[in-house]
Structure 1
Amino acid sequence: DPNIDKEHIEIDNDSPYPEVRSAVANTDDPDMPCTTIRAWTLGLLAAIIIPGLNQFFFFRYPSVNVGSLVAQLLFFPVGRFWAYAMPKRKIFGVQLNPGPFSVKEHVLVTIMATVGGSSAYATDIVAVQRVYYNQQFNFSYQWFLVLSTQMIGFSLGGVCKRFLVSPPSM
């Protein structure tokens, strides 16, 4: 469009911080694969295994916490190995191995591991009710308590996205 000043758009989308500008490009490569079977499989695996380990070790002393950095470091070689070992086949029209393990796939796996990495705080409520107050509730109460508190947190994150994520200065 001849009416749009491309330099102004470039400056508007760029971060005011030089550290961010030097580390993160403000352009996107649309040819780089992101939502692949590999990324979703590894991300869901990380989002299931890491919270399970964290919840298991939560009641142990000394407790062990498996953070998102561990997932980020562990799943990069797994993704590279998948790119090396998997055949280039299509199953149900989806490519099993779309090429090298990309940065976008690694970011997606890390985000999935980070979001699911910590245990839900409502599990503490269930544990305290059982141990200290001797209140035994059925599984549906426990499930809906944990689910509702998690959904409230995610919805507040969605509301705040406009202010905390979208501005380039953040």
Structure 2
Amino acid sequence: MQWTLLAPHIVSCPAGNPHLNWTNFPALNITNDPTEAILARDTLLVISSNASSFTEPGYEVHFTWDSPGKSVGPNNSYTTRTLAGAPKCAAWIAQLNVTYTELYNISRNWAYTIQPNGTIYRPGTANVVNGTQFILITDSNPYITPANMSYLDPHFIAGPAMYQAD
């Protein structure tokens, strides 16, 4: 999963480096990323102040994704691929939690979902979407824990994309 985020930024490697067998999934883009407008402003860092979240539960998150078969990575020596079926869900991955939301208006390589609401443990604790999340497009919603994240691989359609909630 992480290799998919890194590969587009690696142009070349030394000739003696061995070819690593990493799976590269098609890129996922968040087309209405709320942080882009905020980061585009000419602002200074305000580390000691409290700021509102960029998003809230119920926010519509729009996606586009690449089709498989794109060359990426060092010397374009890797090709994106997926073994998954038709897109059905967005998987929101946090440190200790995977939450799935339904995709709507699925059209070729475009869809949207709704940012989930709820807490991880009990009311008043950490929100399901809090801080930085990784989002994937998947063909189903298998049960996943931090110990078996690789079980998601056969269900990846695209992603991950980084999503900053606050």
Q: Give the TM-score range, shorter chain.
A: under 0.3
Question: Which structure features the higher share of strand residues?
Answer: 2
Question: Which structure features the higher share of helix residues?
Answer: 1
Larger radius of gyration: 1
Q: TM-score, normalised by structure 2?
A: 0.24
